[in-house]
Amino acid sequence: MQADSGTPLVRPVQSQASKRAAFLVALFVSILLGSCSPKAPVSTGIPAGYISAFDITHKYNLTLHADLATGVFRFTGDAEFCVNPGSNRALLNGRSVFFSAPVLLLNGNLMLPDDADAKLDSEISAKTVFVYSEKPTPVPTPTRSRPVNSVPSLPPSAQPSYAGTIVLDPGHGGADPGAIGPKTGITEKALNLAVAIAVRDILVSKGAKVIMTRNADVHISLAGRAQIANSSGADCFVSIHHNSTFDRLVKGYEVLYSDNNPNGETRLADSIVLCKAISSAMDGKWSTYDRGVKSKSLYVTRLTSIPSVLVEVEFLSCSELEPVLASDWFRSRAAESIANGILKYLAAKHQ
Ligand SMILES: [Zn+2]
């Protein structure tokens, strides 16, 4: 309870070195809690020409570590990126790179120059694409025709007119846990996979074909996930994540799309319709808030060529919900909502 109430984690200390160490500890804790969140401890006050480290971790699925001994901050994931506050030099996958301005540490927030964002983007895009070789789970082929005089197993109204093909993308995996429950240690990667599998099972039961970017606890690069979507011929791509932030009272679901995807206006419009269908299907399923449908430049929704959304199912950092998220009760509600939203979107597109 004390840990939830915002009690300072570190008491005031006297020496400069101790103050720096205490500050880094507090910052490190806030980074751990916010590693999958777009919500920085202070969301305003970002200087012009800078982007917060929290936005960088969310955008590229990176995890941020602070080295208390050296003061170096290290991002890991699809790229390894080390920065040092006060310096414009960094290490990107072992190579020195230079920014137009120094990295800043302001009020506990790590800020990177905009060109750091651009360098990361091009590095990750240029990386050799690793596509997970596991074959998608065999899916029964939907019966499109039936013998004359046969009786359908379900009334016509229970079967969607068009079930389609869906790519489901459980976020994170392998060495990248995503967010971690502060009290339970539950990992976001495990929750994402569990919800995605439950969504898959519902969609398959309705006659849809589902392609999973991962079916196990393995690392798939962001480019690999986008490539699976782009070579799938699927109707849509749905990435599933759980959110996290430093404030343990924050809860709610949100559905994100990217409006800077270069693949056309129709794709954008369809992505927004899909966001709204999923968001409205999630409404009222548990005690929480609708945080809305939002545009955010995320790698997997920006580089896919089919309608693509990212669902932040709920906050793993929320002290009230953290113990609930791994339950069958929650998982089935979350999965039913997402599946129903997808089916509603597909039915409307193909009616
Ligand atoms: Zn995530």
Per-residue pLDDT, 28: 54
pLDDT of residue 94: 63
Q: Give the residues across from 212 on adjacent strands.
A: 168
Q: Which residues contact 165 (CB under 8 A, 6 or more apart)?
A: 208, 209, 210, 211, 232, 233, 234, 235
Residues 249 and 340 in one domain: yes
pLDDT of 170? 97
Q: Which of 105, 126, 147 is the last residue of a domain?
A: 126
How far is C-alpha 95 from the chain's CA centre? 28
247 and 340: one domain?
Answer: yes
Say if residue 312 is in the same domain as residue 255.
Answer: yes
Q: What is the DSSP letter of 42?
A: S
Query: What is the distance in A from the centroid of ligand 1 to the CA of 57?
Result: 9
Mapping DSSP to helix (H, G, I), strand (E, B) and coil, where does residue 331 land? helix
User: Cα(64)–Cα(31) distance, rounded to whole angstroms?
Assistant: 7
Confidence at residue 120, expressed as pLDDT on a 0 to 100 scale: 87
Ligand 1 centroid to 185 CA: how many Å? Answer: 15
| Same-domain check for residues 307 and 183 | yes
How far apart are the C-alpha atoms of 184 and 167, rounded to whole Å? 30
- Is residue 117 located within the same domain as residue 239? no
pLDDT of residue 198: 98
Query: Is 95 in the same domain as 226?
Result: no
Query: Does residue 270 lie in a domain region?
Result: yes
Structure-token pair, residue 150: 């046969």
The CATH number of whichever domain residue 117 belongs to comes to 3.30.457.10
Segment 125-139, tens digit of pLDDT: 775 443 333 333 344
The predicted pLDDT at position 159 comes to 55
Cα–Cα distance between 127 and 349 in angstroms, integer?
35
**Residues of the domain holding 12:** 7-126
CA dist., res. 267 & res. 261, Å (int): 9
Answer yes or no: is 136 within a domain. Answer: no
For position 304, which CATH number holds? 3.40.630.40
* Amino acid 264: pLDDT: 81
pLDDT at 57: 83
Note whether 116 and 246 are same-domain residues. no
Q: Residue 161's pLDDT is what? A: 62
Centre of ligand 1 from the C-alpha of residue 189, in Å: 7
What is the whole-number distance in angstroms between the Cα of residue 161 and the centre of ligand 1?
33
pLDDT for 99 equals 92
Across the 351 residues of the chain, what is the mean pLDDT of every consecutive 10-residue run?
33 46 53 46 73 84 75 80 88 81 88 90 66 37 40 46 89 94 94 98 96 96 95 96 90 93 87 97 90 91 94 94 93 97 93 79
* 252 and 177 within one domain: yes
Give me ligand 1 centre to Cα 169, in Å. 11
Question: Separation of 153 CA from ligand 1 center, angstroms?
Answer: 39
Number of domains in the chain: 2
Q: Are residues 112 and 162 in the same domain?
A: no
Q: Are residues 103 and 173 in the same domain?
A: no
Residue 231: inside a domain: yes
Assess contact for 26 and 9: CB atoms under 8 A: yes
CA of 154 to the centre of ligand 1 (A): 37
pLDDT in the model for residue 8 = 34
Distance from Cα 38 to the centre of ligand 1, integer Å: 10
Can you tell me the distance from the alpha carbon of 293 to that of 30, in angstroms, rounded to the nearest whole number? 26
Q: Please check whether residue 259 lies inside any domain of the structure.
A: yes
